[in-house]
Each structure stands twice: as structure tokens, then as C-alpha cells.
Chain A
């Protein structure tokens, strides 16, 4: 074991990281199980309540209640339930949804996931890139450009997602009905690979996408601007200029170094992917994971909540792990520090 890592500090660094990510994953899996169960309300009561909209005999209701409790395994002690959940997760079985009984949780998630990924990943990337370019330009140009860009970014980043979403919906879906106000596609269409559907989906995509991009631009631009201003005034920049190094190259030094913390920002953005999407998707009734989680929490659907939070956990951990790997390549100081050598 020791021999394996000798002269391979980077491998040691990655192995250590991987170990800690595993620990974090185990802890998260446990929390995923217990946290939903702290939500007040009994899921079976909710379901039985919905079924008994017409007056049904109380004995029938009680039988129904007992059947569901047994089917969902909720009558068994918590440790047993936890064990069932753990073995299920390890076998890739996320269980059966309560609210959409008898649909499997994974099948429901599988249908919602592409919508969220297609909405969030491009929005985060576009927002991140545009935000960094804007922040860097603001820092480099200064003056009026900086003041406008900075104030604008500050405003955008401090507006909550749902607020901007509602403003956009009012302006561009109600006041000027340019875009549809809700849904992922029109009711006449059915998800399929066709131009008609694609264009219709794109039409529905515009407003939620714009909301997410704008908020992301604001936050990233502010961070990048601060970093770039700091880097532009460092001694190494002045020294490089005194040596007659071209401006273009000096700017490249600055932005490379200013980008380092921004990469962590990107990972965190991916981490908050569904968190941010939840509200935006809910406002626009977008058929993604956010809307699904929102409904699941209202219906106290334990397996569904667990399934979705598990996906979120995995995304966060994976994004952070990838950033850790990337950091090792980009920043020699981190590599040295983490490997415990020079």
C-alpha cells in the first residue's frame, strides 16, 4: 500500500479525497432516510384521506389504512425500515412511490431527470461563462462599464429565483404573451423526437432558462470581478509589466489565477442545481425533479423524497470530486499542500 503511493503524491491525494467522499456519501444516505420522516403528517393518512372523498365506512377505511401501512412497510420498526432502504439503495432499487402508487420511484425520476438536466446544466454553464467574462471585463475596464456591470450583477444576484421567475412570467407570458407561462411542452404534444415537439419545448424552455442564467451571471460576475481586481493589483502583475511582458500575457496570468476560486463556484452551482431548480421549476410548473420534489414533500412521499435527495447528493459529491481533481492539475500550491509535500 505504502509502496503504491511512493513518488505518486497525486494518487495519494486522490485516494484520500475519495475516502472522505465515501464517508460523506454514507452520512448523506442515512440523513436521506431520517430527514423525510421528520416531516409532520402520515403519508398513508394523506392517501387514505384522498381516497375517502366519498363517504366510506370507517371499518373499510381502517382496513385500507392497515393494508397500505403493511404494503409500504411503515408498520415495521424504524431500524428494519432503514435496513430495507439500505439494501434497496445498494441494489439500485429506490422503492415504490406512495403518491403515485404503484409506480416505482426510479421510473418517475427517470422521466423528470432529463428535463432538469436539460434546463440546469446549460443554464449553469452559460451563466458561469458569461458571468466570469462580465466580471473580468468589469475589473479590467473599470470606470462606467464597471459601475453599471457591478450594480447590475449585484441586483440580479440578490433577487431570489422565484421573484425573478414571477416577474418574467408576468412580463413575458402575461403582459406581452411571448412565451408560455407554464409546463415543459403544450398539452397537444407528446414527448417524442420531432421538430414540432422540439420547437415547442424550446419555447417553454426560454423563460425558466433565462431566469436561471441571469441569477447565475450576477453571482459569478461579482465573484470574478473581486478576484480579478485583486489579482490585477498584485506584485507579480506589476513585476511582469516592468519586465516588458506583453499585456495580453499578463492578462492571461491574472485570469487564470482569478478563475481558481470560480471553479469551486461552478461546483457549488452544480450542487445547488436542484435546489435552485426546485423553485424555478415550481413557478413554471416545469416537469423536472424540482417540481417532483415539491409535490413529494407536500404528499409526504418518503421513497420519492429519498430518491430525489439521493440523486442530489450524488450530483454534489461528484461535482466536488471532479473539481478536486481539476484543482490538482490547475493549482500547483493545492497539489503540493494536499499531497503533504513541496
Chain B
């Protein structure tokens, strides 16, 4: 299956007001395939939101890409001009459900008018009535009350706001939807409804792929086809959901899996372990493996050399697997 978006050897930096550069994403290569749900998980500050911005082609100051390729459906996405990007890509090829959905709607704009603005800025000839009608049909299809169109954001509950944003984001049937921590401010019931809505959007082929960013690994078990685990600006393990969750290769991935409670048979026997320590200072990352200072299975080499890249159907950047076949640098 073709890739919707693909990054190769991506290095993305934040420029601090002092003029220093802070590396946020370091040498990441990752592809989002058409038809899949790709989960990206990791601790706060590991670079997952930054990576999402690159994948969503919404890089803007102070973030910038120093090197690497960004391909949109096989073509160089960095060469697109601003207007083409706005009209043809944003909302239409790639759309997003932003982090902090609570404040993502303009407080003085009715949902109806946002819908009109979004549709008209991509289809200049569409009439206001048609635009509203289209949104009404879509809401109806997805089981949301069409009256939300007449509401101002403050008249909607948190869960409803989130769902409305999901509908508005997918009005133009984008190929890829990037959702960043979509459930972080919601109660469990609303979380479930929001996830159901995402699954529904996929099932109805309104959208084709999802990049799902979260720090809650258990959530990904229900929706993701593949999972990428990020640590300190690098993807440390990528693989099919079952492999990463049940048979993690990288000690950090194993640590993440081991640090959550999952109510399932056999749970009582397992102990929940956290990962001791803190992520490294990105201004001075460790020379060797970045996880080494916190790694329970560290040995000498980890401190000296950056770990290799292992391919045996799975990828994990770790010295433990150096003897696996086809090993090599990314």
C-alpha cells in the first residue's frame, strides 16, 4: 500500500529565543501507510507532538527542519508553496484534531460559520447554504445532533466540542487525520465516544489513515495497527501493535508497557513497574544510547556507541539485538 506521508532521516529543531537550537526530533524515518492507524507513544517531551507537526506538514517557527526528507504521497512536501499547501493539503489531504481541543474553537464564532469558512476556503464557489447542509448531513451520519451548528463553543460540553472538532476536521474527507492527545482532557465516557467516532470515520472511509499520538499505551491497543515508541527525539521501536505491546524488543518500550495497569486476566500476578529516572536534557543528550542512563539492561557498550538498527520484520534501536540478522544503521 502506498505511503500517505513519509519522513526520512528527519532532524527537526526548535530555535530558542536565546538563539540556541534544541534538537526535538533526531534522525527519524517513519512512514504512514494508507489505510492504517499508526500510534505514536512516549513520555512528555519525547518529540511526538513535534513529529506530528512534521507529518501534518504544519511546521512553523520556532520549529524548523534542518535535514531529512518529507514526502507527501511520494512527492517532496517541503517544495510546496504556501497557497497550494493551504488549499490542497490542509484539511483536504491531511487534517488534524489538535491537542487541547477545549480551546480550539473560536469563542465568538458559531460552529456553522467555522464550517462555512473551512468549506469556502477550499471550494470558493460553494454557497453558504450548501456548506451548512453538507455539515448537517455529516453530523447526522455520525450520530451527532445537527443543532450544534447553531451553537457557540461555550454552549457545548467538553466531549461534544471534541466530537464537533473531529467532524469539522474531516469535512473535506482528508486522507490522513492526525490526532494529538485527543482524549487527555476528557472523562472516560467521552474518551470512549471520541474513539468510537474515530473508528466510525475510518469504517465509513471518510478518512483513510490516522496518526494517533498519545502517552497512554492502553488506548492504542484498541485502535492502532502499528505503534512507534519515541524516546528523547528518536523512534526506538516500531512494529505491529501486538508485537510492540505484547513482545516489546526495546527495554524502554517494555518499560512503558510495564508501567500501566491493564484490567485483564493475569493482571494480579503482574507488578506495575515504573521507569526510574527522567528523560535526558536534549541540549546535551547522552553519547551512546539515549535510554542507557535509565535502562535496566544496560551494558558498557550502550554508554559508548549509538545503538544499531535491527530489521527482522521489526525495528528496535538497541544493542541487545545486535546479533539479529540484517542488522545495520538506519
By a beta-carbon cutoff of 8 Å, the part of chain A in contact with chain B is: 234-236, 238-247, 249, 253, 256-257, 260, 330-333, 336, 342
**Which of B14-22, B62-70, B89-97, B315-323 participates in binding chain A?**
B89-97
Q: Pull 11 A–B residue pairs with CB atoms less than 8 Å apart, ordered by A.
A: A239-B96, A240-B106, A242-B58, A242-B95, A242-B98, A242-B169, A243-B90, A244-B86, A244-B87, A333-B108, A336-B154
Tell me which residues across on chain A come within 8 A of B56, comparing CB atoms: 242
State which residues 60-110 of B face A: CB under 8 Å.
86-87, 89-92, 95-96, 98, 100, 102-110
Interface residue B117 (Cβ < 8 Å from any Cβ of A)? yes
In the complex, what residues of B have CB within 8 A of residue A257's CB?
106-108
- Extra 19 A-B pairs, beta carbons < 8 Å, given A244-B91, A244-B122, A330-B108: A236-B106, A240-B114, A240-B117, A242-B90, A242-B96, A243-B91, A243-B96, A243-B169, A244-B87, A244-B89, A244-B92, A249-B121, A253-B108, A256-B108, A332-B107, A332-B152, A333-B107, A336-B152, A336-B155
Q: A243-B95, A342-B155 are in contact. Are A236 and B105 (CB under 8 A)?
A: yes
Is the Cβ of B106 less than 8 Å from the Cβ of A244? no
Contacts of B92 in A (CB 8 A): 244
Interchain CB contact under 8 A, A332 and B89: no
Which B residues are CB-close (under 8 A) to A242?
Answer: 56, 58, 90-91, 95-96, 98, 169
Smallest distance from the beta carbon of B165 to chain A beta carbons, Å?
7
Interface membership of B193, Cβ < 8 A: no
Chain B residues contacting A330 (CB-CB under 8 Å) are: 108
A-B contact count (CB 8 A): 80
With A235-B100, A336-B154, A336-B155 as contacts: A244 and B90 at CB distance below 8 Å: yes
The smallest C-beta distance from B54 to any residue of chain A, in angstroms, reads: 13
- Tally of chain B residues near chain A (CB < 8 A): 32
Chain A residues contacting B117 (CB-CB under 8 Å) are 240, 245, 249
- Roughly how many angstroms separate A333 CA and B95 CA in the complex, as a whole number? 28
| Cβ B86 vs Cβ A246 within 8 A | yes
B194 at the interface (CB under 8 A from A): no
Best-buried of A240, A331, A333 by chain B (most CB within 10 Å): A240
Give chain A residues whose Cβ lies under 8 Å from the Cβ of B102.
235
**Contact residues in A for B254 (Cβ distance below 8 Å):** none
What chain B residues lie within 8 Å of A331 (beta carbons)? Answer: 108
User: Given A240-B106, A257-B106, do A245 and B118 touch, yes or no (CB 8 Å)?
Assistant: yes
Name the CB-closest residue of B to A335: B152
Do B118 and A235 touch across chains, with their CB atoms under 8 A apart?
no
Closest 3 CB pairs of A and B: A244-B90, A244-B91, A239-B104
Give the complex CA separation of A333 and B106 in angstroms: 12
Q: Which of B110, B155, B165 interacts with A239 by CB under 8 Å? A: B165
Q: How far is the CB of B139 from chain A (nearest CB, A)?
A: 17
B245 part of interface (Cβ distance < 8 Å): no
Pick the contact of A245 from B104, B107, B121, B154 — CB < 8 Å? B121
Given contacts A333-B152, A333-B154, contact A243 B118 (CB under 8 A): yes
